[in-house]
Amino acid sequence: MHFLHGFLLFLEVKMKILVIGGGIVGSLLTKELSKYENIDVTLVEANYDLGAGVTKANSAILHGGYDDEPSTLRAKLCARGNKMYDDLVDELGVPVQRTGSLVVSEGNDGDKKKIIELYKRGIANGVSGMKIVEGEELRKIEPYLSPVFKYGLYCSSAGITEPWIVAINSGRLAESNGAEIMLGDRVVGGLVRNKRAVSAVLNSGKKIQADIFINCAGLYYEEIAKYFDVEVEKVLLRKGEYLLLDKAAKQFVNGVIFPLPTKMGKGKLILPTIDGGVFLGPTSEDLKSFDPEDLATTRNGLEEILKSSDELVPGISKFNWIIKSFAGLRPETEGKDFIIKRDEEISNFITVGGIRSPGLTAAPAISEYVINEILNGQMNIKLIKKEKIVERIPAKIRVREESFERISELIEKDELYGRIICQCNQVSEREIVDAVHSGARTIESVKLRTRAGFGRCQGGFCTWKVAKIISRETGIELEELIMNNENSYLLEGKVR
Amino acid sequence: MNRKITCVMCPVGCRITVEMNGDEPVISGNRCTRGRQYVIDELIKPKRVLTTSVKVEDGDLPLVSVKTSGPIEKKIIMDKMKEIKKKTVGAPVKIGEIIIENIDGNGVDLLATRKVKKIHK
Amino acid sequence: MMKGINTDVLVIGGGAGGMAAALSAAREKSDVILLERENSTGGVLNQCIHNGFGLHFYKEELTGPEFADKLFNEMTLDRVNIISESYVSEVDVENKTVRVLSPDGAYEIYAKAIVIATGARERPFGALMIPGDRPSGIYTAGLAQRFVNLENRLPGKRALILGSGDIGLIMARRLVLEGMKVEAVVERMPFPGGLLRNIVQCLEDYNIPLYLSHTVTKTVGRGRLEKVEVSEVDENYNPIPGTEKIYDVDTLILSAGLIPQVEDISDSLQLDRVNKGYAVSNSCETNIDGIYAAGNNVAVFDLVDYVAAEGWVAGRHAALKSKGGENNTEKYPVIRGKNVSILVPSYIDFNESLRLYLRISKPIEHGRVILKELNIEKKFVDGVPSEMIQMVLNKKKMELIREKGGLFVEVVEDE
Ligand SMILES: Cc1cc2nc3c(=O)[nH]c(=O)nc-3n(C[C@H](O)[C@H](O)[C@H](O)COP(=O)(O)OP(=O)(O)OC[C@H]3O[C@@H](n4cnc5c(N)ncnc54)[C@H](O)[C@@H]3O)c2cc1C
Ligand SMILES: Cc1cc2nc3c(=O)[nH]c(=O)nc-3n(C[C@H](O)[C@H](O)[C@H](O)COP(=O)(O)OP(=O)(O)OC[C@H]3O[C@@H](n4cnc5c(N)ncnc54)[C@H](O)[C@@H]3O)c2cc1C
Ligand code: SF4
């Protein structure tokens, strides 16, 4: 606390905060911090867009919050975060569908005990909308569920979202409120003097000084901690592989379907995606060594998914519906709980690490916790809200989601709405151009922001069009364009 | 000797049989006379129609697609590609326009197969 | 304000199938509108700059762009109203009302008959469940073809081609001509997926090896593709351990098949289970009165000439229907027998002769197509699944189908 005493005397001097890592956690936190008068916040993200780390590859579930022990941060922040998403819909225009979730079991005595235990835990955690369901009622919720399942826990407050959009739109709102967002630059070192973090060194050579540093680097949180002489719990990486199915599969699934949880996690699920497809997975496999870029899928993993999803909803994987497979990594820690705390030694350094599932759900509550408990509370900074802030960013128009009459009006004002670029998801040129103008520079950024290329042709029809639009709008030559990271160039050069 | 040759002159792709009767090839299985000529060429000097693109300046497209007006000797194709890669034409280009005259030295021309409009910058 | 337009015949999609349909409907003196999503008609023909098109339809050998241009010119002469940059978002098949999105506005078209000719899409990489990294440099053959032939861009330096479909074979040659190294074409099946002539002129001519019963079992590369692992597969297409081979390539081109583009437009149209496209009769009518379909959205055809011929039939019947001149209440099923995979049409009516298209399900050296009801047999030699077998029957010969209540199509293998 020592450094703050002097500091607080000069309230008109802004306190500079550097948030490291623009996943859902870092982005939401930056958005909140940008609302304060006496804070000057900068977010630095290694990728070319926000939400392109763990936030990009997960189940995208807003968990009800009945899985975790009431004493944990996970339990507390998950149930709270779930509720906070209602406000995010309004503030950030992010899509949320409360599809409900269903944990299913065969209904023997042991199973029933576990389901009841989940229910009780949910009550203790303050989860709303739970109900134990049996027989016919179960089938009404999920008509295609295998008949071996007879007993389950339904939770109507659970749902799905589009996690990277939460991160990206948080970034946009934060910028409107004065935050600085640095993309495509990575923290590669830190300077600590007298037990105080002083500055962060970036890959580009830039140095950023700050008064407070917040580590939200996801899988890389140990590395960041090391740069600032902070000791943290070791993370182990646990891979989760997925299959994405065509929209045609959606008729077989209404909400999130879980098997009974095990020690390895919540099991392999079936759930709808926000744009109308279906996810199968994830697997759960510990990586042998720490390799946070290992997003490779495996034959075993994919086969396991097919098998287990068929046990939940028979027939779902037999059809010709698979359009994509991918993997994400979970940061597992021995303590299993989120690690959110101010460092005892380096007292201007805050760790937000080990943010595993239900990290997405909890993320808005994590921001709240950091601000209320740590900044306001432990560090005793009197944060002052700005008098005037941009309260929300306008929801993006998606042609696919508008009525025909409304689209007609839109085109009358702007013909780009009438030029359909991605036909599988009906994404118009206006949506793509807007994404580029709001910062998308890669094929994947455009895809994540607009859903162009997410559909059943997986970009076969539209990749070249998207590439040309990015090139036209930014002046980047086609052969300089990348898919996502630095080395992922698309094209080699000109034919002639 | 009995050899089967797939005719590539059209998508029918006849499997043509050649039997040598002394020095005389006996050809069967071709559904048209082009197939016969193809097989004879294939035995002596194989020929192919070459299709590729040529760079266009000031066009609404960067390339114009081209074809040889008839089959050219297979072994000169890579050489001819080098020549084609150096060639540039100005828009507009009409379909059928000669892009390179007598490209093989045997009267076969390189022809445009697409029209390219001129754009004014 | 939302507009509405009336027409006799509306054609959706301006590829070979749609253009032929529009033209033939116009020749029947109908008012015809053709809607095309792209800014020009032609469909896949525009990027198929190789030759081998049009031998049946135009009796001359053309490249794709030439074929497209000819049809376009004819359509213009016959006053087809071509509206490009128009994406059809929805078809109300019962009321024959189509919703269109275009830079000129969102509007509806009310037609008396509709031909759907939306073509096919390529099977994406993700559908193949190939394990490994997800780097850039993995392209479907059609997308690579688009970049090379229309956008003037090369995809990489060294390529491996997965799948021996025609587009993959054509692209193998194309990339070599443009200076890339093509290491090999690998095919999961024990026989090639493309036409034999393309094996000869695209692979053998350029010494590109073709490995049958092989597949890609892993992709490696954190940014751009760096390597692929290829393995041999057993009869059930499972990789055989110990046969792995690594190729250092920066480009993987997929030619793993086309899928008829039938989703999104309407849920009421019946599909054929095997063809995966619209189930149509020999006059190209779907299960809904006045809605026709032709081309690669019915079944994947290997010749543009077949597509154009079917489009022609579809357009003519749509025109007749729009004038109230035709009634197809009488329909008999065409049933698949053994060794038959793709089979068009699915139904037979008596408004048109019968053009039967089929693919055999495995290579057959000596075989016969048998139409039992009609006492007709057609012999063939060296049959392969990649080459469609076509049979044409006139109306008189078809009479027996009515008596027997359907047509059974099977292929037998002879010694
Ligand atoms: C398989 C799987 C399924 C899951 N399912 C769910 C679910 O259904 N519901 C749910 O609530 N949660 C789920 N989770 C958890 C959830 O996805 C994560 O908790 C959440 O995304 C974590 O967000 P984050 O911001 O901490 O991490 P990240 O999104 O990884 O963000 C960290 C960011 O830091 C950046 N970074 C790293 N190092 C540096 C550096 N040196 N300099 C600059 N930037 C750096 C990275 O590029 C990255 O963008 C799942 C997780 C996994 C893996
Ligand atoms: C790479 C390749 C090589 C080939 N090589 C040969 C060859 O050598 N010889 C040969 O004879 N044949 C060849 N073929 C086969 C033949 O060219 C094709 O089968 C034929 O052109 C397909 O025509 P189509 O009209 O069915 O489909 P397409 O050409 O795909 O046309 C469909 C059209 O519909 C439009 N469309 C789709 N959805 C909508 C919508 N919702 N609204 C508006 N418009 C829409 C599309 O933009 C497209 O223009 C080849 C095919 C391919 C793909
Ligand atoms: S012989 Fe004639 S019909 Fe047969 S493939 Fe050759 S050109 Fe075509």
- Closest by Cβ to B61, choosing from C51, C150, C381: C150
Cβ–Cβ gap C66/B51 under 8 Å: no
Interface contacts (A, C; CB < 8 Å): 154
Q: Tell me the per-residue pLDDT of C353-362, one tens digit each, with 9 for 90 and over.
A: 999 999 999 9
Chains contacting chain B through 3 or more C-beta pairs under 8 A: A, C
Rounded average pLDDT over A169-183: 97
Q: Whose CA is nearest to atom 5 of ligand 3?
A: B13
Give, for B111, the enclosing helix (H) or strand (E).
Answer: strand B110-112
How close does chain C come to B22, measured CA to CA in Å?
A: 27
Task: Count how many Cα atoms sit within 13 Å of the Cα of residue A379 in the half-sphere of its side chain.
Answer: 28
Name the pLDDT band for C395 (thresholds 50, 70, 90). confident
C-alpha C260/C-alpha C277 separation (Å) is 5
Give the closest of C102, C104, C223 to A486, CB-based: C223
Q: Are residues B69 and B101 in the same domain?
A: yes
- Arithmetic mean of pLDDT over chain B: 93
pLDDT tops 80 at residue C302: yes
Cβ partners under 8 Å of residue A348, min gap 6: A3, A196, A197, A211, A212, A213
Mind listing the pLDDT tens digit for each residue in C21-77? Answer: 999 999 999 999 999 999 999 999 999 999 999 988 999 999 999 999 999 999 999
Cβ pair A464:C146 closer than 8 A: yes
Q: Which residue's CA is the nearest one to ligand 2's atom 10?
A: C303
pLDDT in tens, B28-42: 989 899 899 999 999
| C160 neighbors C254 (Cβ within 8 angstroms) | no
Our answer on whether the CB atom of C122 is closer than 6 Å to any ligand 2 atom is no
Q: C331: which residues sit within 8 A by CB, 6+ positions away?
A: C281, C347, C348, C349
pLDDT score, position C267: 87
Cα(first)–Cα(last) distance of chain C, in Å?
69
> What domains sit in chain A, N to C, each tagged with a CATH number?
2-54+164-235+336-378 (3.50.50.60), 96-160+236-332 (3.30.9.10), 399-480 (1.10.10.1100)
B62 and B36 assigned to the same domain: no
What are the beta bridge partners of residue A114?
Answer: none
CB A28 within 8 A of CB A167: yes
Residue C2 has pLDDT above 80, yes or no: no
Nearest CA in chain A to B86: A496
Q: Which residues in B lie closer than 8 A to residue C195 (C-beta atoms)?
A: 11, 13
pLDDT at position A263 is: 75
Could you tell me the CA-to-CA distances from B60 to B63, B85, C82, C109, C312 in Å, in that order? 9, 19, 20, 31, 31
Q: Is B18 exposed, middle or buried (0-12, 13-18, 19+ CB in 10 A)?
A: buried
CA dist C414 → A116, B74, C365, C408, C411 (Å): 66, 38, 8, 19, 10
Q: How many domains does chain B have?
A: 2
A496 vs B contacts (CB less than 8 Å): 53-55, 62-63, 85, 88
The neighbour count for residue C414, using CB atoms within 10 Å, is 11
> For ligand 1, atom 18, which residue shows the shortest CA distance?
A359
Mean pLDDT for all residues in chain A:
94
Statement to judge: residues B98 and B65 lie in one domain: yes
Task: Indicate whether B40 and B57 sit together in one domain.
Answer: no
The span from the CA of C166 to the CA of C300, in Å, is 12
Cβ proximity of A270 and A262 under 8 Å: no
Which residues, 6 or more positions from C147, have their beta carbon under 8 angstroms from its beta carbon?
A: A464, A491, C139, C153, C154, C155
Ligand nearest to the CA of A220: 1
Is B117 within the bounds of a domain? no
- Is residue A270 predicted with pLDDT exceeding 90? yes
Q: Is the CB of B27 within 6 Å of ligand 3? A: no
- ipTM of the shown complex: 0.95
Residues of B engaging A, defined by a Cβ cutoff of 8 Å: 53-55, 62-63, 85, 88
CA distance B115 to C65: 9
Instruction: Tell the CATH topology of C124-256.
Output: FAD/NAD(P)-binding domain (3.50.50)
Q: Say yes or no: B36 and B74 in one domain.
A: no
CATH number at residue B60: 3.10.530.10
Res A12: pLDDT: 60
In contact, C81 and C66? CB cutoff 8 Å:
no
Same-domain pairing of B37 and B66: no
CA A163 to ligand 3 centroid distance, Å: 58
A470 CA to chain B: closest CA distance, Å? 18
Do B67 and B90 sit in the same domain of this protein? yes
Q: From CA A322, how far away is CA A297, in angstroms rounded?
A: 14
CA atoms of C99 and A400, how far apart (whole Å):
13
Give the predicted TM-score (pTM) of the model.
0.94
pLDDT at res. A1? 46
Q: Which of B7, B10, B13 sits opposite C387 (nearest CB)?
A: B13
For residue C309, give every residue at least 6 positions away whose Cβ sits within 8 Å of its Cβ, in sequence order, or none: C20, C56, C57, C355
- CATH number listed for the domain at residues C1-122+257-327: 3.50.50.60
Same domain, B33 and B75: no
Q: Which residue type, as a one-letter code, is found at position C294?
A: A
Residue type, A297: T
CA angle A191, A193, A194 (to 5 degrees): 155
Two tokens at C83? 């509206």
CB contact under 8 A, C197 and B49: no
> For residue range A296-349, what is the model confidence (pLDDT) as tens digits?
999 999 999 999 999 999 999 866 799 999 999 999 999 999 999 999 999 999
Partner B contacted by A496 (CB < 8 A): yes
Task: Give, using CA atoms, the residue closest to atom 6 of ligand 3.
Answer: B35
Query: B81 contacts in A (CB within 8 Å)?
Result: none
Concatenate the DSSP letters of all residues of A415-476 into one string. GGGG-EEETTTTEEHHHHHHHHHTT--SHHHHHHHH-TT-STTTTTTTHHHHHHHHHHHH--
Q: B87 with B58, same domain?
A: yes
Range of the domain at B12: 2-44
Do B15 and B65 lie in a common domain?
no
